[in-house]
Amino acid sequence: MPLRWTADLALGVNELDQQHQGLFLMVSALDEAIGAGRLDRVADTVRFVDRYAAEHFATEERYMRLHGYPALPEHRAAHLAFKARFLRHRRWFASQGVRPLLVVDLASSLITWLNDHVRTMDGELGRYLASVGLHRPAWVDLRPSPPASRDSLAARARPRPETAVEGTPLVPGSGKRSV
């Protein structure tokens, strides 16, 4: 089952969208490594997903609390269920080593969860956040990003269009400088 970040998955919150894109890239790389017989890459993915589960879920849940998201309990329960499934995979690897069947099971589980969770529960969160005024800034580029390199990271660090060259902020949507 292919895994690819597409613009329709964007929640409209740059921080969350970038985290999702990073996970999609990592899981996609794991899937490619499996296809190439490179099981040595599994450990990197497991460490990344472990960090991701802690950091990203905390970030998402912070947005939910700050903006009064009514489905926070259900969404948090889904995050806890993911963490439990992932912990089970980690334990399998610790006790049985990196075996192809376990790696394929992990990749399949991650791909299915990402496709389902980001499209449904996170999509609902994105619509809710937009409804309470947390809108996607016009400068957010939702095109799929290539894998990060030093050059691409430097390009992403360019100033946002809302900031004038002299450093005077522009009034959003007006093209005029605030004074």
> What tens digit of pLDDT does each residue of 90-134 get?
898 889 888 888 888 888 898 899 889 999 999 999 999 999 887
Type of residue numbered 85: R
Q: What pLDDT is stored for residue 59 in this prediction?
A: 94
pLDDT at 143 (0 to 100): 46
Q: So what's the pLDDT on residue 135?
A: 65
Question: Residue 9 corresponds to which tokens in the numbers above?
Answer: 């998955």
Residue 74's pLDDT is 97
Intervals of the chain under pLDDT 70: 1-2, 135-179
List domains and CATH numbers for the chain.
7-137 (1.20.120.50), 149-179 (no CATH)
Residue 34 phi, psi (nearest 5): -60, -45
Give the ranges where the chain is alpha helix by DSSP (H).
14-35, 42-66, 72-96, 100-117, 123-131, 150-156
Give the chain's mean pLDDT.
Answer: 78
**Nearest to residue 42, comparing CAs of 52, 54, 51, 34?**
34
pTM of the model as a whole: 0.70
